Amino acid sequence: MLEKLLGHGGTSAVFLAQQKEPERKVAVKVFLRRADLDAQKQQEFHRRFLQEAEAASRLAHENILPIYSYGEEDGYPYIIMPYMPGGTLAAYLARRGPLSFKEAQWYLTQLAAALDFAHEHGCVHCDVKPANILLNSAGEAMLSDFGIARIARTDIAPGQTSPEQAHEILGTPDYISPEQARGLSLDGRSDVYSLGITLFFALTKRLPFHGDTSIALALLHVYEPPPSLALIRGDINLAMDRVVLKALAKQPEDRYQTAGALLAAFSAAVASSDKHATRSIDTSLLADSEFFSPVMPASTIQVKPARSQHHSGLWFIRGLIVSVALLVVVAAIGVPLFFQHEGSAKSRIIPKPVATATISSIDMLHHPFQDQADWSPSPFFYFDKQQHYYVDNPHQNESIIAPFYRHVLKDFKLTVTMRETRRQNDFVNDFQGVIFRASLDQANRTDLASYYQFSFDPYGSLEYQFQRFDKGTWVNLNEDANHDISTIVAPPGKSNTIMVEARGNSFSFYMNNTLVVSNVVDPNPKGFASGLVGFYVEGYQEEVVYSNLSIVTP
């Protein structure tokens, strides 16, 4: 039974539905009638859709969204797929902005594996783009819409026109390959081109070509060379720029011949970029640590503003004059400042996060949200432009935690402001708050994690809770106290500020500048001595935005 519309485009609409046998949530994609096809061509399109959907349904791969079933109802072809609560990569990029190199590499690894598997089984996707990349609850990518892919024709040479393609072009104009735009026969290298466009967009939040019409876009893909990534994003090195430009070569034989080859070249370029990364961070931290997240971390990306290409010579002369002036200013001011602050810069190196380590630099934690690379990247954890951090829980009957990786704390004072921006049910207890002294499983399994948690329910029970979670077991640490916060908590829609003080085995908590409970002692002699801090959201489809985070250590 269809429940609601999830989204729609020019050729299809996707609905959330409840399936009875087996009982589960599914997504139903219905293909709309195309105005550019007459009745005979429409019938032929439906016939080939059902034929190719049957072949695509046999593609069993962990990064390919499976097709549960397919068919036609009242002249509308449809496919039934799993419901993906993470939404699309397109929606994630709209919130997240340009990806870091590591996160882009993480997604590219999954997509390349999916495409190479499909190509090995004779299937060309024909519509690789962020909107067709779905994310599961863990943020992992699955390539969808193989139901409208083409079965590769081995009887037609590449570059030749096939009878089926002579009068139609499938795909999205922003992402189609040159041979696709020309209506020629396709093989896996067409998907490599579209994957290159997707990578270009993921790194810059811009498309390489812009046209007023589909025909104009098609001509740009066929004839116009793509712009250099380095002109758009300042931290792109030459090797990375060459990788993307090769993926976007006009002739299929000049591109990477497989998606895996593109991945290997991009990974090598990322490794080359890492060698020239910021020297103030010890890169050995990023491995061999029980606190390191296997999910690729996000980072703040600066994208250069678009600039007209007219009067390039005049811009060059002006730029040269400004550059010389800036060099003079830097020489006069920057050099003395460098020697003046050389010692403090060294103190900002992050120590290796072993179980007993503590943060030695208080200054580092005055504004922890500036270290965005150390926060969990996911469709459910993201920053806005004001450095506010959003945590959205997509899980029914499960809480979600967002740790601050690589910063291991023992004694500290943490202050943070939070506001609930969405909740599923006003009558359900939905606790939100912080975790601290957390030790996480290397596979990010929350049931194997250990941490303290202070949280409160601002609209339901109007209570707080202080608990210890140890690998699946909850213990209330302040069970006999009065947990009522109704006189302290802010009204719905307003922000609440909490403060946590941890000193040895004693803990105190404040809410909105009011002491809630002081000097609570964990009676367990094996209580947690140190660990990560982070955020906690309990309610299903509850979203909480965190801001003004401050962490001070002794």
pLDDT tens track of the chain, all 554 residues? 788 888 776 667 888 898 888 888 898 988 777 666 677 777 777 777 777 677 777 888 999 998 888 888 887 888 898 888 888 999 999 888 899 999 999 999 999 999 999 999 989 998 999 999 999 877 889 998 875 666 544 444 444 544 444 344 567 899 999 999 998 989 999 999 999 999 999 999 999 998 888 888 999 999 999 998 888 888 888 899 999 999 999 999 999 999 999 999 999 999 887 665 433 223 232 233 333 333 333 333 334 343 333 333 333 333 433 343 434 333 433 333 322 333 322 222 222 233 333 333 344 455 688 777 788 766 678 888 888 999 988 776 778 888 888 788 999 999 999 999 887 665 466 899 999 999 876 445 556 788 999 999 988 889 999 999 888 788 999 887 889 999 999 988 899 999 999 999 999 999 999 999 999 999 887 789 999 999 999 887 889 999 999 998 87
Q: How far is CA 491 from CA 393, 444, 462, 486, 553, in A?
A: 22, 34, 11, 9, 31
Q: Measured between alpha carbons, how far is 475 from 177 in angstroms, rounded to an integer? A: 57
Q: Measured between alpha carbons, how far is 90 from 516 in angstroms, rounded to an integer? A: 43
Q: What is the pLDDT of residue 124?
A: 92
Residue 426 falls in the annotated catalytic set = no
Q: Measured between alpha carbons, how far is 209 from 216 in angstroms, rounded to an integer? A: 10
Omega prior to 22 cis, within 30 of 0: yes
Q: What is the pLDDT of residue 133?
A: 94
The angle at the Cα of 258, spanning 253 to 262, to the nearest 5 degrees, equals 100
Q: Measured between alpha carbons, how far is 303 from 233 in angstroms, rounded to an integer? A: 5
Q: Measured between alpha carbons, how far is 473 from 454 in angstroms, rounded to an integer? A: 16
Q: Measured between alpha carbons, how far is 554 from 545 in angstroms, rounded to an integer? A: 27
| Whether the Cβ atoms of residue 350 and residue 407 lie closer than 8 Å to each other | yes
Count CA atoms closer than 13 A to 181's CA, side-chain side: 23
- Residue 455's nearest CA partner among 434, 427, 478 is 434
Q: Measured between alpha carbons, how far is 164 from 151 in angstroms, rounded to an integer? A: 11
Q: What is the pLDDT of residue 298?
A: 33
- DSSP H helical segments within 205-348, as ranges? 214-223, 238-247, 259-274, 312-329, 335-340, 342-346
DSSP string for 74-141: TTEEEEEEE--TT-BHHHHHHHH-SPPHHHHHHHHHHHHHHHHHHHHTTEE-S--SGGGEEE-TT--E
- Residue 349's nearest CA partner among 292, 413, 406 is 406
Q: Measured between alpha carbons, how far is 100 from 373 in angstroms, rounded to an integer? A: 9
Catalytic-role residue among 36, 38, 116, 127: 127
The angle at the Cα of 54, spanning 49 to 55, to the nearest 5 degrees, equals 100
Structure tokens at 392: 């959205």
Please list the helix, strand and coil fractions of the chain in percent, rounded to the nearest 5, in that order. 30, 25, 45
Q: Measured between alpha carbons, how far is 408 from 216 in angstroms, rounded to an integer? A: 54
H or E element that contains 508: strand 506-511
- Which residues, in sequence order, are CB contacts of 106 under 8 Å at separation 6+? 295, 296
> Quick check: helix, strand or coil at residue 511?
strand
Q: Measured between alpha carbons, how far is 420 from 537 in angstroms, rounded to an integer? A: 10
Tally of CB atoms within 10 A around 21 = 5
- Residue 214's nearest CA partner among 36, 12, 6 is 36
Q: How far is CA 417 from CA 296, 325, 490, 535, in A?
A: 26, 43, 11, 11
| Whether the Cβ atoms of residue 267 and residue 105 lie closer than 8 Å to each other | yes
Contacts 24+ apart (CB under 8 A), 30-39: 30/76, 30/77, 30/78, 31/76, 31/77, 31/78, 31/148, 32/76, 33/75, 33/76, 36/168, 37/168
Structure tokens at 115: 């495409």
- Which residues, in sequence order, are CB contacts of 212 under 8 Å at separation 6+? none
H or E element that contains 21: none
Does 494 appear as a known binding residue? no
- DSSP lists the bridge partners of residue 500 as 414, 509
Structural Rg of the chain based on CA atoms: 27
